[in-house]
């Protein structure tokens, strides 16, 4: 028997994932809000009802990881929800609300065996000067630890507020891609945030200030569009060494 927690807004929890009622597991039902996180037991698997409110579900996923909780998260979705969810949510698995008892039981078994390993997590990316390994995103001397929610330059930690870190992480994860202020507001602050896009500008300024004069250019401004992360160019000596190596290999 596995200890399960179901977070939902539904007035009748039995309608969220009907198959759960047919399995022999303890299911604790909690409201779908941040206050419920402190009520979860340490060893539980969390089923998060994301059928009708993907924004709140995404916010809760972020809060869980920011709090250092290792609770495996299984999202309950409609089929339409699959177009939005990706590995950046940090979830262990997904299940559609109409899944059979056998499927739910099988997914529970797999989640229990592998812990909270995110679905389809990227293990390594060399895209545009960015390397992503085991939750560490490296771009030159900048290292962003998506698991520990810390960032450092030259090995020295950068003192970032939560949203500053989230903004930096999102930009670094998409090097060279331009985002409008509205897109960043939606992705970093969430669909339920009602502040204006001016908030993005303020956080960008703070981020640049904390990166310092030598690295503030990593967050570029695209006039009349928005912002993007520009990975540092190769060190001149490295580039010269590579050019020399290519020249020698081309000699006959």
Q: What is the predicted pLDDT for the residue at 70? A: 81
Q: What is the predicted pLDDT for the residue at 71? A: 87
Strands (E), 119-238: 131-133, 136-139, 142-145, 150-153, 156-157, 179-180, 219-222, 226-229
30 within 8 A of 5, measured Cβ to Cβ: yes
Q: Distance (Å, rounded) from C-alpha 106 to C-alpha 141?
A: 43
Domain span at residue 39?
Answer: 1-114
Rg of the chain over all Cα atoms, to the nearest angstrom: 21
Residue after which a domain boundary falls, among 87, 114, 141: 114
**Residue stretches of the chain with pLDDT short of 50:** 117, 119-127, 235-243, 245-246, 248-252
Instruction: Give me 44's structure tokens.
Output: 């539980």
Let me know whether 155 and 192 are in one domain.
Answer: yes
Q: Give the CATH number, domain containing residue 192.
A: 1.10.10.10
Q: Is residue 89 part of a domain?
A: yes
Q: Is residue 245 part of a domain?
A: no
Q: Is residue 74 part of a domain?
A: yes
Q: Distance (Å, rounded) from C-alpha 16 to C-alpha 232?
A: 47
Q: Give the CATH number, domain containing residue 53.
A: 3.40.50.2300
Tally the domains of the chain. 2
Spell out the residues 6+ positions from residue 102 whose beta carbon is closer than 8 angstroms to its own: none
Let me know whether 83 and 161 are in one domain.
Answer: no
Let me know whether 72 and 166 are in one domain.
Answer: no
14 within 8 A of 21, measured Cβ to Cβ: yes
Let me know whether 110 and 10 are in one domain.
Answer: yes
Instruction: Give me 64's structure tokens.
Output: 């869980």
Q: What is the predicted pLDDT for the residue at 76? A: 95
Q: Is residue 232 part of a domain?
A: no
Q: Is residue 128 part of a domain?
A: no
Let me know whether 16 and 69 are in one domain.
Answer: yes
Let me know whether 63 and 140 are in one domain.
Answer: no
pTM recorded for the entire structure: 0.48
Let me know whether 9 and 104 are in one domain.
Answer: yes
Q: Is residue 237 part of a domain?
A: no
Torsion 133-152-234-226 (CA) sign: positive
Phi, psi dihedrals of residue 125, rounded to the nearest 5°: -140, 125
Let me know whether 92 and 201 are in one domain.
Answer: no
Q: Is residue 183 part of a domain?
A: yes
Q: Distance (Å, rounded) from C-alpha 134 to C-alpha 129?
A: 17
Q: Is residue 248 part of a domain?
A: no
Let me know whether 1 and 67 are in one domain.
Answer: yes
Let me know whether 191 and 164 are in one domain.
Answer: yes
Q: How far is CA 190 from the centre of its chain?
A: 12
Other beta carbons within 10 angstroms of residue 44's beta carbon come to 16
Instruction: Give me 93's structure tokens.
Output: 């698995």
Let me know whether 221 and 159 are in one domain.
Answer: yes
Q: Distance (Å, rounded) from C-alpha 176 to C-alpha 230?
A: 6
Strand 136-139, strand 26-31: pairing: unpaired
**Ordered DSSP codes for 203-233:** HHHHHHHHH-TTTGGGEEEETTTEEEE-PPP
Let me know whether 106 and 176 are in one domain.
Answer: no
């Amino acid at each position: 028997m596995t200890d399960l927690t179901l977070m939902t807004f539904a007035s009748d929890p039995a309608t969220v994932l009907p198959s759960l009622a047919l399995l022999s597991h303890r299911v604790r039902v909690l409201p779908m809000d941040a206050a419920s996180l402190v009520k979860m037991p340490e060893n539980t698997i969390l089923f998060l009802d994301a059928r009708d409110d993907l924004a709140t579900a995404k916010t809760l996923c972020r809060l869980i990881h920011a709090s250092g909780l290792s609770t495996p998260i299984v999202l309950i979705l409609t089929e339409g929800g699959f177009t939005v969810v990706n590995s950046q949510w940090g979830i262990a698995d997904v299940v559609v609300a109409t899944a059979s008892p056998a499927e739910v039981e099988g997914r529970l078994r797999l989640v229990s065996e592998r812990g909270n390993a995110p679905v389809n997590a990227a293990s390594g990316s060399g895209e545009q000067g960015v390397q992503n390994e085991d939750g560490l995103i490296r771009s030159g001397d900048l290292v962003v630890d998506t698991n520990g929610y810390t960032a450092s330059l030259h090995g020295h930690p950068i003192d970032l507020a939560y949203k500053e870190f989230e903004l930096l992480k999102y930009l670094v994860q998409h090097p060279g891609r331009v985002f409008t202020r509205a897109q960043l507001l939606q992705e970093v602050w969430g669909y339920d945030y009602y502040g204006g896009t001016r908030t993005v500008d303020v956080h960008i300024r703070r981020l640049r200030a904390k990166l310092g004069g030598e690295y503030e250019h990593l967050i570029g401004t695209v006039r009349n569009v928005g912002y993007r992360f520009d990975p540092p160019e190769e060190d001149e000596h490295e580039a010269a060494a590579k050019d020399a190596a290519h020249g020698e290999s081309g000699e006959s």
